[in-house]
């Protein structure tokens, strides 16, 4: 291994990006093959609770640390009738889900999901169907979920076993309506008007709701930018957020660009912010539209696209990618970038929670285990402090085919002024070169104390966890030391780090 180049981080508690938004540690549960059934819910499993939900999976979810869960989709929601999933389970219809070519039994629906969220102390984020449904269905769904007893829809919920309103605060106005694959796909003009009318109706019920308009499904969409501008121009006064979705994979074997995927995320967020602020200016408004990055992850879509269509239709499993060390470093780097944009990204949901491109895997009737990407999410959610600092760094750059020259070191820092705790999250994005990191302590009185250094790294960047070897890749102690109050650490190639320091 070559000698490490030097990189320095300088931090100052006076220079901040903004407060850490805990909703950035969100996840996503969609009725997509094994995410729900044999994922979070399996009544015949040895660990199933009295409601049919797997306790072993619930324990891993608590360890992972998500704060908010988006439901029920995703592509699924654009063909979903919420009424199919309420009432006595024996009376619920079995439907064909057009989005994913599968049979939906509706064993799990709104009440089961929301009560599961309550038991696990998770905030729900619900999506309404604006693909094959519209304003009336959204109004009725909202009344069922949040209405006080005394009207037909809220009393229906009472009869179904939940007298008190669920008080769901944040709602998605459809899903990926810019995508031609979406049931009910619309032009930005069509969708913008529908989103405005739906939002206006929902806010007649409760003006305090936070509503999310559909943004672009990815930055490569031909309508990207134009979609955001035209949609927001029509629903600007009725919504608080606009969504963004992004998935990453090595394209044509370009692993170095893949490791720098956060560069695309940064440009995506900056472009949406610029467009939203342009619309605000044309509306003569100081209102800031925030971003809900409610789908993001590593997803090997090339593998999915290559699968035989008939096999896709017949398969019980779908999009169950197995993740390696390199994928975990990319996921950790994407989390770093989301934190770096805490001033404008209010919500982020890793897609999805269990089995489907997920940090948690299960076997029906058997074990549940952590994928490699579980660990950077869990450590960041657990250790990130209340304020995100504006990091100044100096170090080498690496060249990528996709993004040009980028910093080899990708980092962010969070700080708690009350306790003096400082946590740095960092990735070495080089495939070949180590990096020696030094943290400049001057702004913290010239001295810092090491609490812990954990890293995701392996001599084999393609090592992954399996049911048979669930702990092949886990966080391990890093090399950080402190000399004269100055922390230093060697970051191996393709590695992600959680460096916990104390300023007192």
Count of beta carbons in the 10 Å neighbourhood of residue 327? 27
Query: Which of 52, 20, 24 minimizes the C-alpha distance to 39?
Result: 52
Query: Which of 111, 145, 133, 47 minimizes the C-alpha distance to 365?
Result: 47
- The whole-angstrom distance between residue 345's C-alpha and the CA centroid of its chain comes to 11
Residue 313 has pLDDT above 70, yes or no: no
Residue 236 has pLDDT above 50, yes or no: yes
pLDDT per residue over 100-120, tens digit each? 999 999 999 999 999 999 999
* Structural domain boundaries enclosing 476: 5-13+388-502
Residues 319 and 255 occupy one common structural domain:
yes
Residue 194 has pLDDT above 70, yes or no: yes
Residue 490 has pLDDT above 60, yes or no: yes
CATH number at residue 198: 3.20.20.80
Residues 48 and 164 occupy one common structural domain:
yes
The confidence band for 314, taking pLDDT boundaries of 50, 70 and 90, is very low
Residues 419 and 440 occupy one common structural domain:
yes
Do 455 and 424 form a contact (C-beta atoms < 8 A)?
A: no
User: Which of the following is catalytic: 249, 295, 337, 421?
Assistant: 295
Do 480 and 454 form a contact (C-beta atoms < 8 A)?
A: no
Q: Looking at 383, 410, 425, which one is the last position of a domain?
A: 383
Residues 292 and 411 occupy one common structural domain:
no
d(CA 490, CA 504): 24
The confidence band for 309, taking pLDDT boundaries of 50, 70 and 90, is very low
Residue 171 has pLDDT above 60, yes or no: yes
When divided into structural domains, the chain yields a total of 2
Q: Looking at 383, 405, 429, which one is the last position of a domain?
A: 383
Residues 181 and 153 occupy one common structural domain:
yes
Count of beta carbons in the 10 Å neighbourhood of residue 2? 9
The confidence band for 317, taking pLDDT boundaries of 50, 70 and 90, is confident
197 is a catalytic site residue = no
pLDDT per residue over 217-227, tens digit each? 999 999 999 99
Q: Looking at 383, 414, 429, which one is the last position of a domain?
A: 383
Beta partners for residue 7, in sequence order:
437
Q: Average pLDDT over the chain, rounded to whole?
A: 96
The pLDDT score that the predictor gives to residue 301 is: 86
Residues 137 and 232 occupy one common structural domain:
yes
Residue 256 has pLDDT above 50, yes or no: yes
d(CA 42, CA 156): 26
**Percent of the chain residues topping a pLDDT of 70:** 97
Do 257 and 401 form a contact (C-beta atoms < 8 A)?
A: yes
The stretch 428-457 carries a mean pLDDT of 96
104 is a catalytic site residue = no
Residues 254 and 398 occupy one common structural domain:
no
Residues 369 and 445 occupy one common structural domain:
no
Do 423 and 461 form a contact (C-beta atoms < 8 A)?
A: no
Residue 153 has pLDDT above 70, yes or no: yes
The pLDDT score that the predictor gives to residue 316 is: 62
Query: Which of 345, 340, 347 minimizes the C-alpha distance to 424?
Result: 340
DSSP-derived secondary structure letter, 63: H
The 3-class secondary structure across 127-148, one letter per residue, is: EECCCCCCHHHHHHHHHHHHCC
CATH number at residue 426: 2.60.40.1180
User: Which of the following is catalytic: 176, 228, 337, 421?
Assistant: 176
């Amino acid at each position: 291994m070559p000698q490490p180049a030097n990189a320095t981080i300088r931090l100052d508690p006076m220079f901040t990006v903004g407060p850490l938004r805990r909703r950035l540690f969100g996840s996503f549960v969609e009725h997509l093959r094994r995410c729900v059934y044999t994922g979070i819910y399996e009544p015949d499993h040895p660990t199933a609770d009295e409601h049919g939900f797997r306790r072993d999976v619930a324990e891993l979810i608590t360890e992972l640390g998500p704060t908010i869960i988006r439901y029920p989709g995703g592509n699924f929601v654009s063909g979903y009738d919420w009424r199919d999933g309420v009432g006595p389970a024996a009376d619920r219809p079995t439907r064909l889900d057009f989005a994913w070519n599968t049979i939906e039994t509706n064993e799990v629906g709104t009440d089961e999901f929301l009560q599961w969220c309550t038991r696990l102390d998770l905030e729900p984020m619900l999506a309404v169907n604006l693909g094959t449904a519209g304003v009336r269905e959204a109004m009725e769904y909202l009344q069922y979920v949040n209405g006080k007893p005394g009207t037909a829809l809220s009393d229906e919920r009472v009869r179904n076993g939940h007298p008190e309103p669920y008080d769901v605060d944040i709602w998605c106005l459809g899903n990926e309506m810019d995508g031609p694959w979406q049931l009910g796909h619309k032009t930005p003009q069509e969708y913008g008007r529908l989103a405005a009318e739906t939002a206006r109706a929902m806010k007649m019920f409760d003006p305090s709701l936070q509503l999310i308009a559909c943004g672009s499904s990815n930055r490569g969409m031909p309508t990207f930018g134009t979609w955001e501008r035209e949609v927001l121009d029509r629903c600007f006064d009725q919504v608080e957020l606009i969504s963004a979705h992004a998935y990453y994979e090595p394209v044509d074997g370009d692993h170095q660009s893949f490791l720098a995927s956060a560069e695309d995320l940064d440009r995506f967020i900056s472009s949406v912010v610029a467009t939203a602020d342009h619309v605000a200016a044309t509306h003569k408004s100081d209102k800031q539209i925030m971003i809900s990055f409610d789908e993001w992850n590593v997803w090997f879509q090339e593998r999915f696209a290559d699968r035989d269509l008939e096999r896709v239709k017949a398969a019980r499993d779908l999009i169950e990618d197995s993740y390696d060390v390199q994928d975990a470093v990319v996921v950790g780097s994407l989390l770093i970038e989301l934190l770096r944009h805490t001033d404008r990204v209010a919500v982020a949901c890793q897609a999805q929670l269990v089995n489907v491109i997920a940090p948690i895997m299960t076997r029906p009737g058997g074990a549940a285990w952590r994928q490699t990407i579980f660990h950077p999410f869990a450590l960041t959610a657990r250790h990130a402090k209340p304020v995100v600092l504006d990091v100044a760094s100096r170090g080498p750059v690496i060249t990528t085919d996709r993004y040009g020259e980028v910093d080899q070191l990708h980092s962010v820092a969070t700080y708690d002024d009350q306790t003096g705790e400082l946590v740095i999250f960092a990735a070495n994005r080089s495939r070949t070169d180590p990096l020696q990191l030094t943290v400049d302590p001057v702004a913290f009185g010239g001295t810092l104390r090491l609490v812990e250094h954990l890293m995701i790294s392996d001599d084999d960047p393609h090592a992954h966890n399996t049911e048979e070897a669930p702990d092949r890749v886990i966080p391990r102690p890093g090399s950080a030391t402190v000399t004269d109050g100055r922390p230093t650490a060697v970051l191996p190639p393709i590695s992600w780090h959680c460096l916990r320091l104390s300023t007192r």
